[in-house]
Structure 1
Amino acid sequence: MTTLLEVENLTKHYPVKKGVVLARQVGTVRAVDGVSFRIERGETLAIVGESGCGKSTTARLVLRLIEPTGGTVRFDGQEISGAALRTLRRRVQVVFQDPYASLNPRLRVGDTIAEPMEVHGIGTRESRAARVKELLGLVGLAPFHAQRYPHEFSGGQRQRIGIARALAVQPELIICDEPVSALDVSIQAQVVNLLKDLQRRFGLSYLFIAHDLAVVHHMADRVAVMYLGQIVETAPKRAIFDRPMHPYTRALLSAIPHPDPRRRGMVKPLGGDVPSPMNPPSGCRFHTRCPFVQDRCKAEMPMLRELAPGQQVACHFAEVLPPHEAVAENGMSPVAAQRLALYAAAKARKAAKAA
């Protein structure tokens, strides 16, 4: 595979100012602090972590919806600059988290899907109308839906419209910013399976932002774990679920809910509060909550280093930590396993209906 997107040392710092007339800077919020990753063609990279860790900010930096403080973003080998932004807009699209806020309530669905094609000068009015009908069919909606307004659709249908809009200009990379977190579980299964089907059909690459590890297990090829603006572990999906090496990754896996009341309390929850990105801890940023903390962790920031093929970990003592106890067979809790079974069932029903 060839690299489609390469991000190096991406940084976004927000100045904190005090005063109205003579405002002075009194601090800095380190929202994203030196993030690096790559996405190959046809691959899905999932970025996971707690709320506020910098996942969505990273996605917006890649899209250049906000300007980075530092670092570089290269798409297909070309560094993204002002002159290349228009080309980037066509080759990289986004599916937003909130299907209710991401669509213009004053535009009909057909106009919403056709708008990116108009902006980029693609086709004629007639060919765009035909393309809108084709896209609606691809995402499981009917051609007559083009004449309706967003308020006439459910949340799952609105997210399908958002996906159709993203596909309109035939992008190579789609950034999915928690695209199913606002949907019911059964609808999540349909949307996730739709994204997987579209990836196989068109060879799409995904940057998938999520906090639900069951969804990540179904969608991702590789996983990057973020904590307080930094990536602390990156590895193939199977390695993350089978042999997580960073204490924070282990905590995320252990936090998957378990339906068996006999197991309640067996897994100790992650303690402490997330530190402020305005004043992050010295050394390892996770040391204030880590059950394996040592003096070195408080003084020296660990760097990402490869400890297994394709698995990089930012932890001084990852090699000597006690083995991680899997939460269930195949590294998943029963809740996650049931969620995956639900996805498979939804896909099977769709295939049977098509047949």
Structure 2
Amino acid sequence: MTKPLLELEDIRKLYPVKKGLIIQKEVGTVRAVDGVSFQLMPGETLAVVGESGCGKSTTARLAMRLIEPTSGTIRYDGQDITKATRQDMRRLRRDMQIIFQDPYSSLNPRMTVEEIIAEPMVVHNVGDRASRRDRVRELLRLVDLAPYHADRYPHEFSGGQRQRIGIARALSVSPRLIVCDEPVSALDVSIQAQIVNLLKDLQKEFGLTYLFISHGLAVVKHVSDRVAVMYLGQIVEIADKKNLYDNPRHPYTQALLAAAPEPDPSRRTAMKSLGGDLPSPLNPPSGCRFHTRCPLAQERCRSEVPALREIEPGHRAACHFAESVPSFTRFRNGEGIHPRLQERLALYARHKAALASVNA
């Protein structure tokens, strides 16, 4: 049986909030990540999605120990790295790299592209100067840039090209795990598709494992194998891509999917967008954290924390009433849609059928 490459078990990251100029007193705690657990298998892409501020980027940095966890266990390739020394983590860094969200601030403007891509090889003592130079040009070709770009500076490139440089830097030391921290959110839509396709091609060629952080559900659907949905520092649902998109069992996941733009009018949903504001992680609601915005909330939700339990094989949701949550499929089939919109959809379908028969 294949063992997980990366495993997080009940990981928490708490930030104390202090008040006072001279004598500081702790007045609260921000629960940025509060009890996150998941496994990431070799060669797999696990996407973590959620609203801004839900803790997904913090989770990614905790997984690499760029941030120290308050409690919990992190295992990489079966080894507990939670208490690993700085020297041990330095050796492991070669196996795990990160692609940052902002391609403008993540590249040093004073360094050439060659120096930027070669820097991880210098840090980990990989090869000599000549071999590193050759490796840089090979990586530039891999990410669809020209070898002569090695002598240029970051300000001479577009956002998409800068992100390709960031990808080349992450690949320079041949890692097994790459954390993609919203790698396309700062790019135009057309460029997003190019970068996502590039990441998929590189994964296939080198057998890479991705932890993919995003709030774009369309991007996640294209790139992921499994999806974990986060809300206010906790995972509320995790399943393989098909199950989660076709049959979400948590009301929050359904609301996220309903809010995603849908170009096909026949697949519009009748679900309403979420109301209310996202609660503060400084003072999260008791019980189920989503109950203040959930249309299905009951008294039990206000007092009892739901466990992230298995609804069906490989599909887990943290909802007391996951089995009775209304099916998301019926909205996609047109049930519950306003009658006037149904008429328009029917007319559209008839026109489409007529055009098809004429063209035939």
Q: TM-score, normalised by structure 1?
A: 0.90
Partner residue of 1:43? Answer: 44
* Residues 296 and 150 of structure 1, relative CA distance in 2, 3 Å threshold: same
Distance 2:259 2:314 in 1: 25
* Residues 198 and 262 of structure 1, relative CA distance in 2, 3 Å threshold: closer
**Per-residue deviation at 1:258?**
3.6
* Residues 213 and 10 of structure 1, relative CA distance in 2, 3 Å threshold: same
Distance 1:117 1:263 in 2: 48
Tell me, which stretches of 5 or more residues in structure 2 are unaligned? 334-360
Aligned AA (1:91) = D
Aligned AA (2:206) = F
1:73 aligns with 2:74: yes
Secondary structure of the corresponding residue to residue 120 of structure 2: helix
Distance 2:314 2:12 in 1: 23
CA RMSD of aligned residues (A): 1.5
Aligned length: 329
Partner residue of 2:143? Answer: 139
Deviations 1:69-92 (A, max 9, x none): 011111000111114201221100
Partner residue of 1:342? Answer: none
Partner residue of 2:342? Answer: none
Which structure's CA Rg is the greater one?
Answer: 2
Secondary structure of the corresponding residue to residue 212 of structure 2: strand
Distance 2:122 2:45 in 1: 29
**Per-residue deviation at 1:260?**
7.0
Deviations 1:227-272 (A, max 9, x none): 0000000000000001000010000000012457899894311111
1:185 aligns with 2:177: no
Partner residue of 1:3? Answer: 4
Aligned AA (1:146) = A
**Per-residue deviation at 1:327?**
5.8
1:125 aligns with 2:129: yes
Distance 1:169 1:219 in 2: 23
Aligned AA (1:93) = Q
Secondary structure of the corresponding residue to residue 3 of structure 1: coil
Deviations 1:278-324 (A, max 9, x none): 00000000000000001000000001110111001110011112212
**Per-residue deviation at 1:66?**
1.4
Aligned AA (1:241) = Y
Distance 2:196 2:266 in 1: 31
1:308 aligns with 2:312: yes
Partner residue of 2:35? Answer: 34
Secondary structure of the corresponding residue to residue 127 of structure 2: coil
Correspondence list, 1:249-264, <5 A: 249-259=253-263
Secondary structure of the corresponding residue to residue 136 of structure 1: helix
Secondary structure of the corresponding residue to residue 118 of structure 1: helix
Partner residue of 1:333? Answer: none
Q: Is the 8 A contact 2:47 2:224 kept in 1?
A: yes
Partner residue of 2:271? Answer: 267
Partner residue of 2:352? Answer: none
Aligned AA (1:269) = S
Deviations 1:111-150 (A, max 9, x none): 1000100000000110000000000000000100000000
Distance 1:156 1:31 in 2: 30
Distance 2:264 2:208 in 1: 38
Correspondence list, 1:68-107, <5 A: 68-80=69-81, 81-82=84-85, 83-107=87-111
Secondary structure of the corresponding residue to residue 5 of structure 2: strand
* Residues 233 and 260 of structure 1, relative CA distance in 2, 3 Å threshold: closer
Correspondence list, 1:1-355, <5 A: 1-80=2-81, 81-82=84-85, 83-259=87-263, 266-325=270-329, 328=332
Partner residue of 1:340? Answer: none
Distance 2:275 2:330 in 1: 20
Q: Is the 8 A contact 1:254 1:327 kept in 2?
A: no
Q: TM-score, normalised by structure 2?
A: 0.89
Distance 2:47 2:264 in 1: 28
Aligned AA (1:283) = G
Distance 1:84 1:27 in 2: 34
Q: Is the 8 A contact 1:227 1:286 kept in 2?
A: yes
Distance 1:264 1:133 in 2: 47
Tell me, which stretches of 5 or more residues in structure 1 are unaligned? 330-355
Distance 1:258 1:216 in 2: 15
Secondary structure of the corresponding residue to residue 242 of structure 2: helix
Give % identity: 68
* Residues 78 and 123 of structure 1, relative CA distance in 2, 3 Å threshold: same
Aligned AA (2:192) = Q
Secondary structure of the corresponding residue to residue 90 of structure 1: coil
Partner residue of 2:337? Answer: none
Aligned AA (1:210) = S
